[in-house]
A and B are shown apart, each in its own frame.
Chain A
Amino acid sequence: MENEAGALSRVAGLFSARGYNIESLTVAPTEDASMSRLTLVTRGSEEIIEQITKQLNKLIDVIKLQDLSEGTHIEREILLIKVKAMDNGREEMMRLTDIFRGSIIDVTEQAFTVEVTGTGEKLDAFIEAVDKQLIIETVRSGVTGIARGDKCLRV
């Protein structure tokens, strides 16, 4: 979409005004600074997705829209999680991080900050695997994605 003030609020406003649900939303400028790429995750019946697609296309600031779930695609999300890590727990947390191909990006005497990248489901699984008592803070980027193969979203 156009990298303009207010473009994001048009998208967000459309979802709230028409009662659609936003599960996650990420947005950043592209290599062409006049455009932003926004990835939004939503859920609904075929009819609802069709309406959402049409309504988004109607927004003047939306340049091009692609439903990634229509084809094979890659999706990625980043999780940063701060956990208590003391004594034996430090070893265990390092092992868990390895299993999920994450990395420990900050360390104090009391805690680790772990970065895990993957699909939303993988991040869910990581959080699930960590003892609830140990979690101090989590932050997720929201999902971003791209189509597999030669298919692309270009203007």
Chain B
Amino acid sequence: MELTGAEILVRFLKDEGVKHIFGYPGGAVLHIYDALYQQEDVEHILVRHEQGATHAADGYARATGKPGVALVTSGPGATNAVTGIATAYMDSIPLVVITGQVPTNMIGNDAFQEVDSVGITRPCVKHNFLVKHVDDLAITLKRAFYIATTGRPGPVVVDVPKDVTAAKADYVFPRKVQMRSYNPVTKGHIGQIKRAVKLMLSAKRPMLYTGGGVILGGGSKLLTEMTQLLGFPITNTLMGLGAYPGTDRQFLGMLGMHGTYEANMAMHHCDVLIAIGARFDDRVTGNIEKFCTKAKIIHVDIDPSSISKNVRVDIPIVGTVDQVLQDMLDVLKAKTLKPDQDGLKNWWQQIEEWRKTDCLKYENSKKIIKPQYVLENLYKVTRGNAYVTSDVGQHQMWTAQFYKFSKPYRWINSGGLGTMGFGLPAAMGAQIAHPRSTVVCVTGEGSIQMCIQELATCLQYGLPIKIITLNNHCLGMVRQWQEFFYGGRYAMSYMDSLPDFVKLAESYGHVGMRIEDPADVASALKEAMSMKNKLVFMDFITDQTENVYPMIPAGAGLNEMILI
């Protein structure tokens, strides 16, 4: 069947099972929009800025485990999308971003709205393509989805010149794709897995440290089963929250720069560290020289280049998390050996001592709203069941600490790149994917202003997101560092001339609420959550002097936390 490139592209998306794409039209993609207009299988969500498109597609992917798709025009459309692409790249999120391009005969001529999209995105994609001929379009798109979703997932950009979308070609949906240069592994080496299990069972002070890879690799259930079978303590990274029930006794909370005292101390003192789908990020390890010096390290990861990158490991296992965990469980169940019970008993005694520090405690106030108090109440009101997105800064850390995620795909935040402006569009993606679920965006008055234009998109598509703004009139995390390390010189971290967020929400057609009295926090949250069909923008005026604790200062080891 002969179709135009634009028709092929849209037909392909349908055949690939794509239900929603996020985008913004422009000259180079007009043919594609015309083809979208004439069908109903793929729903297009019109964002208000291309950054919103990539973040929304990203949020959609994080909330479902399926690839997110964005469509933007050439030139500024592509450059605006880059922040979202880089955000997805750093957190290994499967994304296919289709960028329009000027016609092939004008490429390189500094044409109107031309940029080298493939060149600009090269360092922040898993792979990218420029489609030079309409005959290559369908197979290239297939490769893009294949690469984005297999191995270590990541964003893939497909740059499509305008003339390619107008030219005609026969279309057959490519069911299979094979690439000689790309064959991601799945199964881990069974010999290594047996060695790892033996080491785990010999441990006196074992520790599980798991990351976003467990969620991306669909390993949450198996991880939970294995952890409970072994009786080992477990910590999750910022990206890994929700992979293990946050309310379980074996869970020590998040680790790292703003991790709990018990998680970081257990990391520091363990004798066997089992890292799964985590990448030893600098925000996790603190000073590498002082990191887990007493431990033998097992590292399970899909990406060989993550292994022994920052920290040398003793038993590397390359494979998908679900396969490796299944193999580990099989080996464990076949063994008659049990973990060292005496060792574990002493280890748990020590951990319970650390836990008594109650490192997340804070002094509540009757006069001014404490941010932690808002999040504790948010957790209670939503019963821990909401999809929660966040922006970047103090509110992000407090959410990670106080919202006890117990299921995967519920916690959606920009961990690696730390992109302010991510929260609202990501929440749109999550809400589109789960129309009947509660989706909450926890943000600050700084971050929310970076993609605030998306409030219009939310109205257009009736997305009843609940926005929780912890408004402390300052860039809280910047302010915190300035207080600790720059002698209290608060350079540019004060947020002056703020809009009236209630009126702003109302002018966009939503409900706005301002909450200033701690006594109103719980009731306001309940009221907002009861408005099932409305976006509610909650502006909580919070205590500016509140800081995120514990904190590991730069250059310090995990056992050198600043407690409150």
Residues of A bordering B, CB below 8 Å: 1-2, 5-6, 9-10, 13, 17, 47, 50-51, 54-55, 57-58, 60-63, 155
Contacts and interface: CB of A to CB of B under 8 A. Distances in A.
B304 interface: yes
Interface stretch (B118-126, B325-333, B514-522, B552-560): B118-126
Contact of A58 (B122, B180, B303, B308): B303
Interface in B305-324: 305, 307-309, 312
B182 interface: yes
Contact of B305 (A51, A60, A155): A51
Given A54-B307, A60-B182, 4 more contacts: A5-B130, A6-B118, A9-B119, A54-B304
A21 B126 CA distance: 22
A60 B123 contact: no
B295 interface: no
Contacts of B119: 9
B179 interface: yes
The 6 A-B residue pairs whose C-beta atoms are closest, nearest first, are A54-B305, A63-B181, A60-B127, A54-B304, A17-B123, A60-B182
A10 B128 CA distance: 10
Given A6-B118, A54-B304, A58-B303, A155 B127 contact: no
A41 B276 CA distance: 34
B216 interface: no
A30 to B, nearest CB: 13
A57 B183 CA distance: 11
Nearest to B180: A63
A62 B118 contact: no
A50 B181 contact: no
A155 B180 contact: yes
Interface in B126-153: 126-127, 130, 147
Chain B: interface size category: 10 to 19
Contacts of A47: 308, 312
B179 A60 contact: yes
A62 B305 CA distance: 15
Interface in B167-219: 179-182
Contacts of A62: 181
A57 B127 contact: no
Contacts of A50: 308
A47 to B, nearest CB: 7
B180 A60 contact: no
Contacts of B182: 60
B179 A57 contact: no
A17 B123 CA distance: 8
A55 B122 CA distance: 14
Given A5-B130, A155-B180, A51 B309 contact: yes
Interface string B290-310: 000000000000011101110
Nearest to A64: B181
Nearest to A10: B122
Interface centre among B181, B305, B307 (most CB of A within 10 A): B181
Given A2-B181, A51-B309, A13 B123 contact: yes
Contacts of A55: 305
Contacts of B180: 63, 155
B304 A57 contact: yes
A53 to B, nearest CB: 9
A60 to B, nearest CB: 4
26 contacts: A1-B181, A2-B181, A5-B130, A6-B118, A6-B130, A9-B119, A9-B122, A10-B122, A13-B122, A17-B123, A50-B308, A51-B305, A51-B309, A54-B304, A54-B305, A57-B304, A58-B304, A58-B305, A60-B126, A60-B127, A60-B147, A60-B181, A60-B182, A61-B181, A62-B181, A155-B180
B297 to A, nearest CB: 15
A6 to B, nearest CB: 6
Contacts of A6: 118, 122, 130
Contacts of B123: 13, 17
Nearest to B119: A9
Nearest to B118: A6
A67 B534 CA distance: 60
Contacts of A10: 122
Nearest to A6: B118
A10 B127 CA distance: 9
B239 to A, nearest CB: 19
B338 to A, nearest CB: 36
Contacts of B312: 47
Nearest to A2: B181
Contacts of A51: 305, 309
Contacts of B304: 54, 57-58
B105 to A, nearest CB: 16
Nearest to B122: A13
Contacts of B130: 5-6
A58 to B, nearest CB: 6
A13 B442 CA distance: 36
Interface in B464-522: none
